[in-house]
Amino acid sequence: MVLKSLFALTGSEIAAELGLSKPYQGRQIYSWLCRGVTSFDRMTDIPLALRERLSMSGISVCSSTVLDKQIDSDGACKLALSLYDRNIVECVLLTDREGNLTACLSSQVGCAMGCAFCRTGTLRLTRNLEAFEIVEQFIHLQATASALGVISHVVFMGMGEPLANLGNVLKSIEFLHDPKGIGLSHRRITVSTCGLVPGIERLGKAGVPVRLAVSLVAATDKKRSALMPVNRTFGLAGLRRSLENFPGSRRLTFEYCMIPDQNMSQQDAVSLAGFCKGLEVIVNLIPYNPCEELPFSAPSRSQIRTFTGYLDSLEVPYTIRVSRGRGIKGACGQLAAKFQNSSET
């Protein structure tokens, strides 16, 4: 198989792939990759002759290129990356009020889950991303962010369902976490799922203490199944069981995308409170980000106030997420790069 990228490999895997006689040279290259250096010429602690040989070899260090970059007035930056097969995937850099930088990464090209309120859901799944393609999103975003600082958090909330591509997501997390490399703490990595129960169970068993966010959106089977087809398979009872068994319950968040006329009534709040009961969870309220392809609208301030009033009276712990990147269609549920299959040259 042709080597497409050196990202997501360990130092020894790099040494083996490149046929290096000295294993430590693989570790040196690994260290440069973690600093975002993708040209052998710039890896100055490698002997010149070896650098020249590698540069001339045509080996691909990084498989993706930045095709487009959009910056919103709120500072959010969305990158469209062209992949080795000419598919396109999007990722977003977000800056919060304290200046923390978060990389929002995609795990698939498109998505098969078909959530009714999500722009990515209007696309079908093209393919899973390789681990190196996930890591490369981080590297491209870090290069974009260099003047602002170092990315401190990663959320798998971009295109795709991460738990449907768990093997590659875990491999990318291993690379991002390695204390000898990028060194992101597991606590600063959040994997977000629409509620793929077998994936939640596998993630729990993997023993990787990342945070888990579940996009709940509705807390009755009837409403949730209408908005999120995944619920027709597993149901809220199955989801609830998998969460009760998930190790480290303190790491759990429910994302609740607030959609007027869908899930913001007093009864919806009561159902949500009931589902949260007994779980150590915080609800992250996300005002719906509208897009022209879908029939939903954003909640007004007064609708949000009314709904949070219900939650207050029910003592449901919640935060309200400030949506960033709306102006560049980079906010939650808005990612939908136009795809180009390799056959469509």
Whether 321 and 285 have beta carbons less than 8 Å apart is answered as yes
Binding of ligand SF4 by 151 (CB under 6 A)? no
Only one of the segments 1-9, 68-76, 113-121, 232-240 lies at the binding site for ligand SF4 (rule: CB under 6 A); that segment is 113-121
Binding mask 213-252 toward ligand SF4 (x if CB under 6 A, else -) reads --x-------------------------------------
Per the DSSP assignment, residues forming a β-bridge with 41 are: none
Nearer to ligand SF4, 37 or 81 (CB): 81
Shortest distance, CB of residue 121 to ligand SF4, whole angstroms?
3
Residue with tokens 């609208």: 297
Binding of ligand SF4 by 160 (CB under 6 A)? yes
Cα Rg for the chain, rounded, in angstroms? 21
Binding of ligand SF4 by 120 (CB under 6 A)? yes
Nearer to ligand SF4, 120 or 323 (CB): 120
Per the DSSP assignment, residues forming a β-bridge with 109 are: 127
Here the tokens at position 319 are: 């935060």
Whether 136 and 64 have beta carbons less than 8 Å apart is answered as yes
Here the tokens at position 248 are: 């480290």
Whether 172 and 136 have beta carbons less than 8 Å apart is answered as no
3-class DSSP state of 140 = helix
Binding of ligand SF4 by 111 (CB under 6 A)? yes
Express the helix, strand and coil content of the chain in percent, nearest 5 each: 40, 20, 45
Q: How far is residue 92 CA from its own chain's centroid?
A: 9
Nearer to ligand SF4, 61 or 105 (CB): 105
Whether 335 and 159 have beta carbons less than 8 Å apart is answered as yes
Shortest distance, CB of residue 270 to ligand SF4, whole angstroms?
24
Binding of ligand SF4 by 194 (CB under 6 A)? yes
Q: Which of 11, 26, 121, 299 binds ligand SF4 (CB under 6 A)?
A: 121
Cα separation, 233 vs 326, in Å, equals 31
Shortest distance, CB of residue 35 to ligand SF4, whole angstroms?
31
Instruction: Give the residue from 143, 146, 172 showing the smallest Cα distance to 158.
Output: 172
Q: Which of 89, 113, 129, 243 binds ligand SF4 (CB under 6 A)?
A: 113
Nearer to ligand SF4, 20 or 169 (CB): 169
Binding mask 69-98 toward ligand SF4 (x if CB under 6 A, else -) reads ------------------------------
Binding of ligand SF4 by 325 (CB under 6 A)? no
Binding of ligand SF4 by 118 (CB under 6 A)? yes
Whether 104 and 92 have beta carbons less than 8 Å apart is answered as yes
Q: Which of 92, 115, 285, 337 binds ligand SF4 (CB under 6 A)?
A: 115
Here the tokens at position 138 are: 């981080």
Per CB under 6 A, residues contacting ligand SF4 are: 111, 113-115, 118, 120-121, 159-161, 194, 215, 333
